[in-house]
């Protein structure tokens, strides 16, 4: 398998896992599986396209689409770290499989 492809898959998986772990850290284990994600300021339930790790934060400029409240950059940093770790792991796996 090509190293770039495994790195891209790893990056997507890393961002997704980091985003979910962030929810667990913020809400707790039980609350992380109960209910949908929502804006902390206005309480509006977020749509699917507002939940895409890293990309949604950048597209919405770190603000709620409805009330304009700012999101903390901790979310972005967590997800970016997940992208980096996932891409590195994916690249390493791709390198190992190519031998």
Rounded to the nearest integer, the mean pLDDT of the chain is 91
pLDDT number for residue 32:
78
For 61-84, write each residue's pLDDT tens digit. 999 999 999 988 999 999 999 999
Q: What does the H/E/C string look like for 17-83?
A: HHHHHHHHHHHCHHHHCCCCCECCCCCCECCHHHCCCCHHHHHCCCECCCCCCECCHHHHHHHHHHH
- Domain hosting 90: range is 3-98
pTM of full prediction above 0.75: yes
Per the structure, the count of domains in the chain is 1
Give 50-59 pLDDT, tens digit per residue: 999 999 999 9
């Amino acid at each position: 398998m090509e190293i770039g492809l495994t790195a891209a898959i790893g990056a997507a998986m890393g961002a997704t896992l980091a985003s979910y772990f962030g929810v667990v850290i913020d809400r707790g284990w039980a609350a992380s599986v109960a209910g949908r994600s929502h804006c902390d300021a206005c309480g509006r339930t977020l749509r699917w396209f507002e939940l895409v790790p890293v990309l949604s934060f950048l597209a919405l400029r770190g603000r709620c689409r409805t009330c304009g409240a700012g999101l903390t950059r901790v979310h972005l940093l967590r997800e970016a770290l997940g992208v980096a770790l996932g891409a590195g792991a994916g690249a390493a796996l791709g390198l190992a499989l190519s031998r």
